[in-house]
Amino acid sequence: MPKQLLNLLNASSTIDFFMKLGLWFMAILGPIYDVVGAILLLIAADFALGYRASRKQKVPFSWAKVTHSINKVIFYSLIVFVGWVIESKIIPGIPFMRLMAGFLALQELRSILSNFKIIFGIDLWDYIRAAIKRKSPQEIEKKKKDESD
């Protein structure tokens, strides 16, 4: 490794340079670690439930869906990172990172609930709406049937 690069981080060897560079990146990305971790857990849950739902529907395995999930990991992480940069460096008064992460989490939750309905035949969204409205899930389901008729 060229001596100029080693001097950048006051490193004595190549290993020391990469260790210090890694610590520098972790210090920068520390504030988004928990948010990205939560998004990654939601993507993993969506992938697992999506795989199970596709098996239940007898849809053949497709590597395109795996690459779609990998792309979601990359782009969702970048979106959260951009939100953090905007929040911390440009407009500190508005929590952009949390807003963007909340939107992404709701997207994944919608997909998870859709897969859950395919696997188990239970619409959890009706139970969530019933809890919010403080009604029984049967009332929500009855109202939904009445509206569709």
pLDDT in tens, the chain (149 residues): 566 665 666 777 777 778 877 887 788 778 788 898 999 999 999 999 999 999 999 999 889 889 999 999 999 999 999 999 899 889 988 998 999 999 999 999 999 999 999 999 888 887 777 778 777 767 767 777 777 76
Angstrom distance (rounded) from CA 92 to CA 31: 14
Could you list the residue range(s) of the whole structural domain that residue 26 is in?
3-148
Angstrom distance (rounded) from CA 85 to CA 97: 8
| Best CA proximity match to 36, nearest among 84, 93, 71, 69 | 84
Single pTM value for the model: 0.74
What string of DSSP letters covers 95-111? -HHHHHHHHHHHHHHHH
Domains identified in the chain, total number = 1
